[in-house]
Copies of this chain bind each other. A is one copy, B any other.
Amino acid sequence: MGHSAIQPDARRSKTGVELITYSIAMNNNLHQLRCIGCGAVISGAEAKPDFRCVQCGELFEVVYPGWGQRKGLDRPNPGALKWLWRERRCSSEEIDHSGVWRFRELLPILDSFGDVVTLREGNTPLYKLRRAAKALGIDQLYAKHQGMNPTGSFKDTGMTAALSVAKERGFKCVACASTGNTSAAMAAYAARAGLNSLVLIPDGKIAWGKLSQAMDYGSLTCQLKVDFDGCLKLLTEIVKEAPIYLLNSVNPYRLEGQKTPAFEIAEAFDWNVPDHLIVPGGNLGNSSALGKGFRELRDLGLVARLPKISVIQAEGANPLVRSFLDHQATALDPVEAHTRATAIRIGNPASWRKAVRVIQETGGWCLDVTEAEIAIAKAELGREGLGCEPASAVTLAGLKKLRAEGKVASSETVVLLLTGHTLKDADYTIGFHRGTLLEKDETVGYEKEIASLQRNAISVDATVAAVLSALKERVG
């Protein structure tokens, strides 16, 4: 039987019943690493513990050379893949329940898929946004909600990939510097794999709520008397001296997992990609990964074109926006980041070069939005029944701006990528509705809009008449 042929594969399920699953005869591990700076290509095993190129110091990206050979044995067959990925949704196998590993033919990064570390990430909902579509005069508006992943953020899709690599390579301990979603995801997957995990955080003001998950999943958290960059620098030294696997975003395998929502989106539209995908911009790994995912689909013939991919930053944490304005995106000056959308409060994004490439290649835009615009957009998404963390709401705020500037036509199909669950930042929500979130000068021009969205609890007499009158007054 030749390569790329689909073959039935009889296995025993956990309940002992014989099942027919399907696989495509391909190697599980076809990847190499290519430096995005100097183009040097190395094998996965040759990567240094800090994942930096020894020649130029830049980051690596995962590449699959076999895919480039038109008649090559390792080039997947698009029709077979579409059928296979769909069928796997009906499978009883744990690996097929993952929205990342369901697409494993496009992530051949492991010697064996036999023991991937999974929490059933991915396969997240694509919600239709009817209210926002109407308000903006757009026919087709959707939200792909990555906050519906197991630990509540998009980071899970990347962690299942990178943790599986760590486990396969025999590491007993993994680590990251993070005070937020990354540490939560790492801790959960490490626990699932039975590995120890280490989180480094800076001294000083820490939002402990965000770290509760890392504790819950059993990470050791070390607080250091240095800033965040100092934590990252020390961790880079640590992984060079001890067998600890680095899981910050320099790790190129995380992006391999994070590219899979592109596959899910393409599949949901029957392999006709939407016109425009809008993504929050923090460390820029996500936009890079999604761009890579769509590019691979196109190069393999699964889709005909790329969607425009636009990146939205918060006004107070907009180094990429400035890079486009000041340097035509050829250089990036780090900024001191200030925004209440903590998940994108990043002044020196690691993956900025990859993101620039994605925006330029797809014809997308890069812009920023204010704190008030973020808060309003979050409340509007809430009104559609979709909670999200503040960073996710920049996508809707950005779309409004793009639409006002005539950059999005009413006939376009637009997908907003929501990155985190509303429960990730309950304090932000409460602050908004109580009116304590924003300063007065931030809300100028938005006072009425904000007031109409606020839903602080009100004290009412315990009578039928009083409650009904409050209801009539507030919601009509």
Q: What are the 7 closest A-B residue pairs judged by CB atoms, nearest first?
A: A192-B385, A191-B385, A423-B423, A212-B426, A221-B457, A120-B125, A216-B382
A152 CB contact (under 8 Å) in B140, B378, B423: B423
Further contacts, 15 of them, CB under 8 A, given A89-B89, A241-B464 = A87-B90, A125-B150, A188-B387, A193-B385, A213-B426, A215-B457, A216-B429, A216-B433, A218-B383, A220-B471, A221-B456, A222-B471, A224-B461, A226-B462, A234-B467
A215 CB contact (under 8 Å) in B87, B201, B455: B455
The answer on a CB contact under 8 Å between A430 and B212 is: yes
CB closest chain-B residue, reference A274: B15
A217 CB contact (under 8 Å) in B87, B270, B385, B476: B385
Indicate whether A225 reaches chain B with its CB closer than 8 angstroms: yes
Q: Given contacts A188-B387, A208-B430, A387-B151, is CB(A468)–CB(B423) below 8 Å?
A: no
The answer on a CB contact under 8 Å between A215 and B429 is: yes
Contacts of A476 in B (CB 8 A): 196
Total copies of this chain within the assembly? 2
Measured in the bound complex, the distance between the Cα atoms of B214 and A379 in whole Å is 11
The answer on a CB contact under 8 Å between A455 and B220 is: yes
Indicate whether A211 reaches chain B with its CB closer than 8 angstroms: yes
Contacts of A268 in B (CB 8 A): 92
Measured in the bound complex, the distance between the Cα atoms of B464 and A144 in whole Å is 41
Measured in the bound complex, the distance between the Cα atoms of B86 and A38 in whole Å is 49
Indicate whether A77 reaches chain B with its CB closer than 8 angstroms: no
> What are the interface flags for A457-473 relative to B under an 8 Å C-beta threshold, 1 for contact and 0 otherwise?
11111111001101100
The answer on a CB contact under 8 Å between B237 and A464 is: yes
Contacts of A272 in B (CB 8 A): 15
A238 CB contact (under 8 Å) in B215, B219, B464: B464
CB distance from A44 to the nearest CB of B (A): 25
Contacts of A7 in B (CB 8 A): none
The answer on a CB contact under 8 Å between B462 and A234 is: yes
A209 CB contact (under 8 Å) in B200, B220, B430: B430
A125 CB contact (under 8 Å) in B119, B127, B152, B426: B119
Indicate whether A223 reaches chain B with its CB closer than 8 angstroms: yes
Measured in the bound complex, the distance between the Cα atoms of B429 and A68 in whole Å is 49
The answer on a CB contact under 8 Å between A270 and B92 is: yes
Which residue, of A87, A92, A384, A387, has the highest number of chain B Cβ atoms within 10 A?
A: A387
Measured in the bound complex, the distance between the Cα atoms of B475 and A475 in whole Å is 54
Contacts of A303 in B (CB 8 A): none
CB distance from A261 to the nearest CB of B (A): 15
Contacts of A150 in B (CB 8 A): 125, 148
CB distance from A222 to the nearest CB of B (A): 4
CB distance from A133 to the nearest CB of B (A): 13
Indicate whether A173 reaches chain B with its CB closer than 8 angstroms: yes
7 contacts between A and B (CB under 8 A): A94-B128, A193-B385, A201-B457, A212-B429, A217-B382, A218-B382, A220-B475
Measured in the bound complex, the distance between the Cα atoms of B127 and A402 in whole Å is 43
CB closest chain-B residue, reference A433: B215
The answer on a CB contact under 8 Å between B385 and A222 is: no
Indicate whether A284 reaches chain B with its CB closer than 8 angstroms: no
Indicate whether A242 reaches chain B with its CB closer than 8 angstroms: yes
Indicate whether A230 reaches chain B with its CB closer than 8 angstroms: yes
Measured in the bound complex, the distance between the Cα atoms of B226 and A200 in whole Å is 47
Indicate whether A422 reaches chain B with its CB closer than 8 angstroms: yes
Indicate whether A448 reaches chain B with its CB closer than 8 angstroms: no
The answer on a CB contact under 8 Å between A459 and B191 is: no
The answer on a CB contact under 8 Å between A385 and B223 is: no
Measured in the bound complex, the distance between the Cα atoms of B218 and A433 in whole Å is 10
CB closest chain-B residue, reference A473: B220
> What are the interface flags for A321-335 relative to B under an 8 Å C-beta threshold, 1 for contact and 0 otherwise?
000000000000000
